[in-house]
Amino acid sequence: MTSLFAPFALALALAQAAPEPAAHADRPGEPAEHGTVAAPEHGAPAGEHGAAGEHAAAGGHEGGHSLPEVMMHHVANGEVLELPGVCEGEFRWNCEVNLRELTGGGWLLHLGGLTVDMTPSKHVVMLWVGAIVLLLVFGTAGRRRALVPRGFYNFLELLVQFVRDIAVSNIGKRDADRFVPYLCSAFFFILVLNLLGLVPFLATATANVSVTVGLALFTFFVTQYAAIRAQGVGGYLAHLTGGVPKSLAWLWPIMIPVEFLGLFTKPFALTVRLFANMVAGHFVILALLGLIFSISIFVAPASVALALAIFMLELFVAFVQAYIFTMLSALFIGAGLVHHGNEEHGEAGEHGHAGPGMGSQDHASHADGKAPAHG
């Protein structure tokens, strides 16, 4: 039901944010007929943003009239939430809730001479909502645990087993269970944030590069922790030489910077992949719906049909991106453990880089893994 309603809700939001032709007045700024306001003179600030009105400066956005500005307003972060409700004495689909005003002027943290603005934005609110949803879902399902899982608890356990299989296949059966809690947290949190972004009037937190950077940094620190604990500090630092022996130590000034930069390419890939995929889908949907107001109302059937098709694809992408982030995180963690496993068991390996089939004798396939105990 939500998937059918979402394109129409987005179209309605675009319609209320679309520009209304300004009536001509005798003098600039003079109220024209029918209650509209004449166009501002010499590039003066634009008027009301649809029915929503001009945002306060604290909201970080002034109403724009062009379709690109409307699209950016719906995708970008800000301090203003637009929700359906009663405002200015009538029901509207985009009543504004200013988070800075709601928090009494914002949350300012004073550290000596430094002031840190901790005022929540709409993407921060979505992070809170996602965390609350996960606590409620797993808290409710966990109360109905049984030896033979049934219903929704069985579905959640299936997803947990799916994540565990990812960990076993990429990290190894011996070490996988140590990292399954983190991988499950990342998978479900990203999945919920992606799905919340498809709910009308909500926002996609994973379309914010700051959020994806934070998620990628968690994987980065877990990966480095796993590698240092497995190899020791000496082995970890030796790995930064790229496997070049001491007899060729003159190559270390070249290899060490390359290997050091290589540590950061992995979180960078996680950041950009998740961010770009979530932003692209929403831009396509908004662009298709924007054709109705840019061209003609007669393109509405085709525009809404295409937007609905992309929306259904976005449902699939929400799961795929959560899976890819989890799988790559497990792969990066496993790469840091392979070198340690090769040293212990004498397996082939040059200097600890993961490759096809490495660690297969020591780390069993995910098919041999067992589900976590019930109850």
306-316 pLDDT, tens digit each: 989 999 999 99
Predicted confidence (pLDDT) at residue 19 exceeds the cutoff of 70: no
75 within domain boundaries: no
Looking at per-residue pLDDT, the higher value among 71 and 4 belongs to 71
The model's confidence at residue 96, banded by pLDDT at 50, 70 and 90, is confident
35 within domain boundaries: no
Domains contained in the chain, number: 1
Closest to 330 in 3D by CA, of 370, 270, 374: 270
22 within domain boundaries: no
CA-CA distance, 100 to 41, in Å (whole number)? 31
Q: What is the mean pLDDT of residues 274-289?
A: 89
283 within domain boundaries: yes
Predicted confidence (pLDDT) at residue 66 exceeds the cutoff of 60: yes
321-367 pLDDT, tens digit each: 999 999 999 999 998 786 544 444 444 333 444 443 444 344 444 43
113-148 pLDDT, tens digit each: 888 888 889 999 999 999 999 999 998 887 877 777
90 within domain boundaries: no
CB 94 within 8 A of CB 85: no
Predicted confidence (pLDDT) at residue 64 exceeds the cutoff of 60: no
24-33 pLDDT, tens digit each: 444 444 444 4
3-7, 91-95, 300-304: least confident range:
3-7
The model's confidence at residue 187, banded by pLDDT at 50, 70 and 90, is very high
100 within domain boundaries: no
Cα angle, residue 213 at apex, residues 268 and 192 outer, rounded to 5°: 115
Q: What is the pLDDT of residue 163?
A: 95
Looking at per-residue pLDDT, the higher value among 240 and 334 belongs to 334
Whether pTM > 0.85 for this model: the answer is no
Q: Residue 133 belongs to what domain range?
A: 125-368
335 within domain boundaries: yes
Q: What is the pLDDT of residue 65?
A: 59
119 within domain boundaries: no
